[in-house]
Amino acid sequence: MAADTSPPRARTFPPRSRPWILTYHSVSDPTDDPYGITVSADRLDEQLTWLRRRGLTGVGIAALLRARAAGRRGLVGLTFDDGYADFLDEALPVLLAHGCTATVFVLPGRPGGSNSWDPLGPRRPLLTEEGIRTVAAAGMEVGSHGMLHRDLTALSDDELRHETHASRDALHRIVRQAPSGFCYPYGTADRRVAASVRDAGYAYGCALVPGALTGPLALPRTHVSHADRGARLRAKEVRHRLRYRSAGTGEAG
């Protein structure tokens, strides 16, 4: 059954808090990893165990926002960027074992391709269209990472529209449900980019450090690496709560 990715109802967050959302990429052997974007399946298991001991359950972002709108706490958002094929064999079994869901941000313009935008490599295969459908069928949320993994802030208006609108249409065709979430490649967005994401029909947008943008179209996230274990995770959680404790209302512009 596909994840319920209907748009979250709330457009604002309670004051003094913003949801804590973790950012993963590849789940595989982390030894050749110049960008620090790989976590082993064992380490992911350890990190989810740590969260659970702290009373936190990982969920996809649409579910996270719906739960917060309903006043529910005790959740942390889990996101996997780029749509690496290893999600199915490495991450998914661990997530399911912990009773977690996640949002996987995929690139419908590169089905079955690789991360050729990373000049240092190593090359990692991306999910095929069938793989994207399998992710959705496993109960995970599928979101858009744009078509081709381009820096949206540097694109013309027409190119930007293609990355936001066409990727939503493509994912609608692939999983038969329009995605409610968008993740900005490289974590960067500005007002023009956020407006394009909103106009395409997405209910939320994930950044890394959203800068001056606020609201559901500029959700901040915490990058998680293979080195992150209890003390480091705790430090990242505290940093998130301090940084975003009073910036929780308002719309992205």
Task: State the residues that interact with Zn ion by CB under 5 A.
Answer: 81-82
Query: At its nearest, how many Å lie between Zn ion and the CB of residue 80?
Result: 10
Residue nearest Zn ion by beta-carbon distance: 81
- Comparing CB distances to Zn ion, the nearer of 25 and 43 is 25
Six token digits for residue 164: 């936001």
- Comparing CB distances to Zn ion, the nearer of 75 and 132 is 132
- Comparing CB distances to Zn ion, the nearer of 92 and 107 is 107
Sign of CA dihedral 182, 178, 163, 130: positive
Query: What is the C-alpha separation between 179 and 184, in angstroms, rounded?
Result: 14
Query: What is the C-alpha separation between 142 and 71, in angstroms, rounded?
Result: 24
Which residue in 224, 228, 214 sits closest to 19, CA to CA? 214
Query: At its nearest, how many Å lie between Zn ion and the CB of residue 187?
Result: 8
Query: At its nearest, how many Å lie between Zn ion and the CB of residue 123?
Result: 15
Which residue in 82, 59, 103, 85 sits closest to 186, CA to CA? 82
- Comparing CB distances to Zn ion, the nearer of 83 and 215 is 83
Six token digits for residue 151: 């820096």
Which residue in 185, 146, 183 sits closest to 168, CA to CA? 146
- Comparing CB distances to Zn ion, the nearer of 81 and 141 is 81
Query: At its nearest, how many Å lie between Zn ion and the CB of residue 54?
Result: 27
How far from 202 is each of 95, 105, 162, 178, 227, CA to CA, in Å?
A: 25, 13, 14, 9, 33
Query: At its nearest, how many Å lie between Zn ion and the CB of residue 81?
Result: 4
Per the rule left: phi > 0, alpha: psi between -120 and 50, beta: everything else, 22 is: beta
Query: At its nearest, how many Å lie between Zn ion and the CB of residue 141?
Result: 16
Determine contact, residues 194/227, Cβ cutoff 8 Å: no
- Comparing CB distances to Zn ion, the nearer of 76 and 183 is 183
User: In residues, how long is the chain?
Assistant: 253
